[in-house]
Amino acid sequence: MASARLFYFLSPRLSKKTSFRRAFSISSHRLQSCMSAWVIDQYGTHAVLRYTEDITTPAVSSPTDVHVKVYATSLNPLDLAMRGGYGAKLLKLRRDPFSLGDSSAFPLVLGRDVSGVVVDCGSKVAHFAPGDEVWAAVPPWKQGSLAEFITLSEYEVSHKPQSVSHTEAASIPYVANTALSALVNAGGLCAETAPNKRVLITGASGGVGTFSIQLLKAWGAHVTVTCSQNAEGLVRGLGVDEVVDYTAGDVHEQLQAMDRFDMILDNVGGETEQWALDLLKPWSGSKYVTLVSPLLSSTDHSGLLSGSIQAGCTLHNKALQNMLSSGVFYRWGFYAPDGPALDEVRTLVDSGKILPVVEAEFPFTQVPQAFLKLEQGHARGKTVVRVTDEEGSQADALKESDPSRTEDAEVQGAVGQQ
């Protein structure tokens, strides 16, 4: 994988500076000390979401920082989990490993995707300048993108594809970085190794699944997916080769009738691995990569040390057992921040090989409704929030009153869809 990472670093970003710029004035933003955002002040359910205009605007504090005006963001299942406190202990350690500052997570801004425009840059930023249109995936240990502005490191940021809007672009970065980490770093696949490989994706109609389908097909892999019958049209439209409807009968039985797979990407977790592992080709270097690991939940329940040890032992035991019994590599996949990887995704998007899959859009005033939509489950792509319109003013100007006090009809409509 070192070579793949080196390839990303040697992408056109380093050989030719790419600039997609707008006319953009930064002076007023440099003077803005507070911004509007949706935050939580404690972990909990839907009621903890709060709108504020008094959260401190993040500043450029490092030579490699890139300060971005947020045009659009999208919600991921991780946002729901983090709202409830998932991963709080490990993320706190990552945020402040030596407990040198105020390590309180609150007020916490959620949102892991951003598409926007650069406002300011640190002195050592070489590849971005004010006015550049960019996109990025926000690491879970950083303040999120449900806000007017965000500051990220240069390595986490990439120039936005020219062929899509900010709203469309915001649906991609986090799932792209997650899928690439799982498929490339854990799964050993890339454009050179994927052709004709047989890959099974479970739970394929969500954000990671729909992106992975398109990436693997662009690489020349044979892709089989599991999903419900009403998602079949979506995934077939993205180019899958075989669809297994898990509501139409025993999914294991249906898959056993097919040739075995070189890799399985598991987006579901739970009991999936109990029936899926024997679908892999034995003694051929095949890999089972799950994105549902117990690491964060173990540290939440048992503490950092004990939880990490428990999770490590679980991974070691499963990996050893599967290697000894069938020669299958068992691995966990995780999100990894990687702006250079998004450079490669940008090329695929602009060439039409990867399309944004947006299921629903909400204005910034309706972030609570966007969360309600996500809570319904059975995603068919991504739920996107428009923070700023394409002309640069705030999307659907916020009401004078607190927008979290939505009209009864709006709330009932959102809840009624569950």
**What whole-number distance in Å separates Cα of residue 127 and Cα of residue 131?**
12
Query: Are both 54 and 72 inside the same structural domain?
Result: yes
Cα distance between the two ends of the chain:
42
What does each C-alpha distance from 112 to 143, 152, 268, 329 come to in angstroms? Answer: 9, 12, 20, 29
Backbone angles phi, psi at 165, to 5 degrees: -80, 170
Which has more confidence, 119 or 9? Answer: 119
**Beta-bridge partners for 99:** none
Q: Alpha-carbon distance 167 to 73, whole Å?
A: 7
> What b/e sequence results for 198-236 when a residue is b if at least 16 CB atoms lie within 10 Å of its CB, and e otherwise?
bbbbbbbbbbbbbbbbbbbbbbebbbbbbbeeebbebbe
3 within domain boundaries: no
Both tokens of 134, joined, read 């960019």
Q: What is the pLDDT of residue 392?
A: 61
For residue 132, what pLDDT is reported? 98
pLDDT tens digit string along 125-143? 999 999 999 999 999 999 9
Q: Is the pLDDT of residue 5 over 80?
A: no
DSSP-assigned states of every residue in 354-367:
S---EEEEEEGGGH
Checking DSSP bridges between strand 133-137 and strand 157-159, what pairing results, if any? antiparallel
In this structure, is residue 36 part of a structural domain?
Answer: yes
Same domain, 126 and 151: yes
Q: Are residues 108 and 138 in the same domain?
A: yes
- Output the domain CATH number for residue 34: 3.90.180.10
Position 44 pLDDT exceeds 70: yes
Of the listed ranges 160-169, 198-207, 291-300, the least confidently predicted one is 291-300
Range scoring the smallest mean pLDDT among 217-221, 302-306, 345-349, 384-388: 302-306
| Cβ atoms 110, 83 nearer than 8 A | yes
Tell which wins on pLDDT, 198 or 308.
Answer: 198
Examine the domain organization and report whether 168 and 212 are in the same domain.
Answer: no
- Average pLDDT over the chain reads 86
pLDDT at 176 over 60: yes
Q: What are 219-272's pLDDT values in tens digits?
A: 999 999 999 989 999 999 999 999 999 888 889 999 999 999 999 999 998 889
pLDDT band at 30 (very low <50, low <70, confident <90, very high): very low
Question: Strand 49-56 vs strand 113-121: parallel, antiparallel, or unpaired?
Answer: unpaired
The answer to the question of residue 1 being in a domain is no
Verify that 56 and 116 share a domain, yes or no: yes
Q: Say whether both 86 and 189 belong to one domain.
A: no
Give the torsion through C-alpha atoms of 272, 311, 181, 265, to 10 deg.
Answer: -10
User: Which is more confident, 383 or 318?
Assistant: 383
Which stretch of 6-20, 180-194, 208-222 has the lowest confidence by average pLDDT?
6-20
* 166: exposed, middle or buried (Cβ count in 10 Å: 0-12, 13-18, 19+): buried
Same domain, 313 and 368: no
The whole-number pLDDT of residue 394 equals 63
Q: In this predicted structure, what is the pLDDT of residue 63?
A: 97
Please name the amino acid found at residue 121: C
pLDDT at residue 398 tops 70? no
Domain membership of residue 337 (yes or no) is no
CB 71 within 8 A of CB 116: yes
Q: Which of 317, 332, 347 is the last residue of a domain?
A: 332
347 domain residue, yes or no: no
What pLDDT is recorded for position 103? 58
Please report whether residue 341 resides in a domain: no
In 214-351 the beta strands, taken as DSSP E runs, fall at 222-227, 242-245, 263-266, 287-290, 329-332
What average pLDDT does this structure show over 155-182? Answer: 98
pTM of the shown model: 0.85
At CA 362, angle to CA 162 and CA 268, rounded to 5?
85
Burial 97-117 (b: 16+ CB within 10 A, else e): eeeeeeeebebbbbbbbbbbb
Pairing of strands 157-159, 198-202: unpaired
- The model's pLDDT over 297-336, given as tens digits with 9 standing for 90+, comes to 888 888 888 888 988 998 888 889 889 889 899 999 999 9
Look at 282 and 401; give whichever has higher pLDDT.
282
Report in angstroms the alpha-carbon separations of 140 from 213, 226, 334, 341.
24, 28, 11, 18
Does any domain span residue 348? no
Statement to judge: residues 243 and 365 lie in one domain: no
| Contact in structure between 235 and 225 (CB atoms under 8 Å) | yes
- Is residue 183 domain-shared with residue 125, that is, in the same domain? no
Report whether pLDDT(47) > 90. yes
Give the DSSP letter of residue 101. S
Which among 197, 194, 255 has a CA at the least distance from the CA of 227?
A: 255
The region that residue 289 occupies, defined by phi over 0 for left and psi between -120 and 50 for alpha, beta otherwise, is beta
Q: Which two tokens stand for residue 368?
A: 């609570």
C-alpha 261/C-alpha 257 separation (Å) is 12
Among 315, 332, 349, give the residue marking a domain's end.
332
If asked whether residues 151 and 63 sit together in one domain, one would say yes
Average pLDDT over residues 106-122: 97
pLDDT exceeds cutoff 60 at 199: yes
Biggest CA–CA distance in the chain, Å, is: 64
Beta bridge partners of 266: 202, 290
Place 116 in a pLDDT band, splitting at 50, 70 and 90: very high
- Give me the number of domains the chain comprises: 2
Question: According to the model, what pLDDT value does residue 99 have?
Answer: 61
Q: Of 99-103, 207-211, 239-243, 308-312, give the lowest mean pLDDT range.
A: 99-103
Residues 189 and 158 reside in one and the same domain: no
Which percentage of the chain shows pLDDT scores above 90?
A: 68
Q: Rounded CA gap, 118 and 44, in Å?
A: 33
pLDDT at 297: 82
Range of the domain at 185: 175-332
101 and 152 together in one domain? yes
CATH code for position 294: 3.40.50.720
Tell me whether residue 345 is in a domain.
no
Q: How far apart are CA 98 and CA 173, in angstroms?
A: 30
Residue 330 has phi, psi (to 5 degrees) of -105, 120
Q: What burial class does residue 418 get, using C-beta atoms within 10 Å of its C-beta: 0-12 exposed, 13-18 middle, 19+ buried?
A: exposed
Q: Return the CA Rg of the chain.
A: 21
β-pairing, 113-121 with 157-159? Answer: unpaired
